[in-house]
Amino acid sequence: MRLDKLSSTFLLLGVCLIYCTAQSTDETVIVNTAEGALRGRILSTFTGLNFYGFQGVPYAQPPVGSLRFKAPQPLAPWEGVRDALMEEGACSQPGQSNEDCLYLNVYTPQLPNETNNSPLAVMVWIHGGLFTIGSSTVAMYGPDYLVEAGVILVSFTYRLGSLGYLHVDGTNVSPNVQLKDQVAVLRWVQRNIAQFGGDPDNVTLFGQSSGGVCVTYHILSPLSSGLFKRAIAQSGSAINPWALSTDPNERAFRLGQSLGYNGTDRQELVDFLRSVPVGDIIDHQSQIVTEEEYVRELVVLFVPSVESEVVDGEEVFLPDHPYTMLQKGEFNNVPLITGANSRETKRMTDVTDESGWEVVANDMERFVPIELPIQRHSKDSLAITAQIEELYFGNDTDLHDLLVDYINVESDIKFVRGCHRLSLKVQAQSSQPVFVYQYFYNGTLNLDYSLGTGIMTTGAGHGDELSYLFYQYMFNQTAEPGSTDEDVLIRMVSMWTGFAKTGQGCRERKKRNLNYDGIPLEWKPLSESDHYYLKIDTHLELLTDIEQEKMSLWESINTNYGNMW
């Protein structure tokens, strides 16, 4: 998975943080929270509907100095009224050095002091970006569609890369602080969202890509128990191969050595890393990828890890391997929507021509799951390679067909199989429904048309569903009235917000009104005997056994060659 391909999207955000924002009025409003009073603004959607925005709200102390690599610390209350009128900057990432970045935003269509309406459902958004880049800015994640549908949106920034996932056993580093930042947000919502017109007992956690992975980690974590009622994981699963580090200590020393630390003492390493300018850490964390990791496209090294030791009595987020916790049923029992897009990696690949294909063709063994306990070039590894090559590439010889085959196998390895496996494991142990989807729609709001893609092909790439859930001010475009794009947008918003409000799997709008309840369309959850999934395209279609032959191959590889989850 290429970080530079995803970065092309987020590099645009620097400009958009300045020029892209919801339309605002001069009117302000004050809300009291447990930490102090906040002054927000009255904003309006692109259609002219007024709502309230509170931006740049701190949810923890700035994680600077001795608090670098530490769990988020509670804020002291402030006196007077604090302005919450503008977004704060993204957390440290390539091109940006900003450790004071633990802030959230609240967008609500109503406040409790002006209406007798019931409290609103709340949707808490976790942005994606391979755990390493990204932001919650309205440039990419405008609240317009969601507030028009009658829900409250909470978005936020959290620590990224090694600042979010450094893990060194036997030291005062708190592992998984990115995930613990997110817990701090969920706790803030429980304390305060009623003051914004929201229902703390009706919170849906949703996210995409690494944000979707984080959602599934919160389903697993005892720290997140009781903090949300429902979950939506888009293109992300805790059992994706890139979503868990099995050797965090080695990676931490690799980072330290690249920055000039040559010792072996773990606490000395941590003290050294706390003294290094944050920009140097960001620059070096992407330069320590090994050749083998690069070939397998595991280019993001700082990701969640199991917390095998308790640090200074701190709370533990991930006490065991995700797959073990799923097997034992040790997770939060909440309704879940999960799924992936039909051609996730079509914009991530740099294999776009004959020379690129020749590199792949000469090393088909790259598709053997890196987490399998077998050696490269071994008899077992070559046997797996042959099975993958036969199923995904067959007898294709046309270059374009081969490149599309390559996208398909990469998409399944990196996204689909993990999402599929997680859905089955949760369903087997949970009393709550699990709804599965696959998103196919290739419309004019897709990122292909905004960013371009290396291989023009049908189907939806990574993140293509986002412009049908969020108004993206960075592209300043929405669906044409009466178009298929508008139909898909209305369906997506209504399904996601309908789930947040009621826990039902699907509620298709028949009118062009995002807050119209419409006629329910039954989206059946998984069962032991029927593996239903919703195909989301120009029309909705309920099918069974998503990519059955391909998923069966990965299951058989897992069974025959070792547990890879």
Write out pLDDT tens, residues 133-188.
999 999 999 999 999 999 999 999 999 999 999 999 999 999 999 999 999 999 99
| Residue 123 · residue 199 · CB < 8 Å | no
Mean pLDDT of the chain: 90
Helix axes 354-361, 399-411, angle to 10 degrees: 60
pLDDT band at 24 (very low <50, low <70, confident <90, very high): low
* Alpha-carbon span 154 to 215, nearest angstrom: 14
Write out pLDDT tens, residues 178-231.
999 999 999 999 999 999 999 999 999 999 999 999 999 999 999 999 999 999
CATH superfamily entry for domain 1-565: Alpha/Beta hydrolase fold, catalytic domain (3.40.50.1820)
| Residue 255 · residue 47 · CB < 8 Å | no
pLDDT band at 296 (very low <50, low <70, confident <90, very high): low
At residue 16, the pLDDT reads: 45
pLDDT at 53 over 90: yes
At residue 456, the pLDDT reads: 63
Residue among 432, 428, 462, 469 at smallest CA distance from 447: 462
Write out pLDDT tens, residues 467-525.
999 998 888 888 999 999 999 999 999 999 999 999 987 655 544 455 444 444 689 99
At residue 10, the pLDDT reads: 43
* Alpha-carbon span 508 to 364, nearest angstrom: 43
Write out pLDDT tens, residues 308-344.
888 778 899 999 999 999 999 999 999 999 999 999 9
Q: Which residues are annotated as catalytic?
A: 209, 344
The structural domains of the chain, with segments of one domain joined by +, span 1-565
- The amino acid occupying position 62 is P
At residue 17, the pLDDT reads: 42
* Alpha-carbon span 37 to 555, nearest angstrom: 54
pLDDT band at 13 (very low <50, low <70, confident <90, very high): very low
pLDDT at 382 over 90: yes
Q: How much of the chain, in percent, has pLDDT values that exceed 90?
A: 74
| Residues paired with 93 in a beta bridge | 96
Average pLDDT over residues 551-564: 83
pLDDT at 112 over 90: no
